[in-house]
Amino acid sequence: PEQVMDYLTRFSGLVHGDLDPTTSPHHLIPLKRSYTKLRFLVDRGYTFVGHGLNNDFRIINIYVPPEQIVDTVNLYHLPNRRKIALRFLSYLLLGQNIQADIHDSIEDARTALLLYQYYQKLTAEGRFEDELERIYEEGTRCGWQVPDP
């Protein structure tokens, strides 16, 4: 295998040793097996919840029917306005400071699920539209930046 020169840890979350089955603290599976599992879940009609999923599925070249995707980047979006980062939504709505050092895909997935559940709660209470306006107002006020802890 080729030697990795830069893991881009801030974005990938990977560090030296993560991809080596003899030293990785993670459960590693072959790429083909992960594609097979994903295809199984799609074919069984499972719903995928995440932030920016459409882009993720496009990058890995797999088609997932739109009715099987709940993408929080689209839920928390007003037409003709900017898309809101997961980190900002997490900070503002959940009081969580995620992605502070390196990318953690498990943390991102859990956060997207919590944001979806919060969306469902606000929608059931008839408060979602007002809250979305508040998010955009607050984002504009602070330049869409999460304050340092």
The CA distance from 6 to 20, in Å, is: 15
On whether the CB atoms of residues 68 and 62 are closer than 8 A, the answer is no
CA 87, chain centre distance (Å): 9
pLDDT by residue for the chain (149 residues), tens only, comes to: 678 888 888 778 888 888 888 999 988 999 899 999 999 999 999 999 999 999 899 999 999 999 999 999 999 999 999 999 999 999 999 999 998 877 888 999 999 999 999 999 999 999 999 999 999 999 999 999 998 87
* Element of type H or E holding 48: strand 48-50
The residue type found at 114 is L
To the nearest 10 degrees (0 to 180), the angle between helices 105-124 and 128-142 is 130
Taking the CA atoms of residue 106, residue 110, residue 116 and residue 117 in that order, the dihedral angle to the nearest 10 degrees is 160
pTM of the model: 0.89
Structure tokens at 149: 């802890």
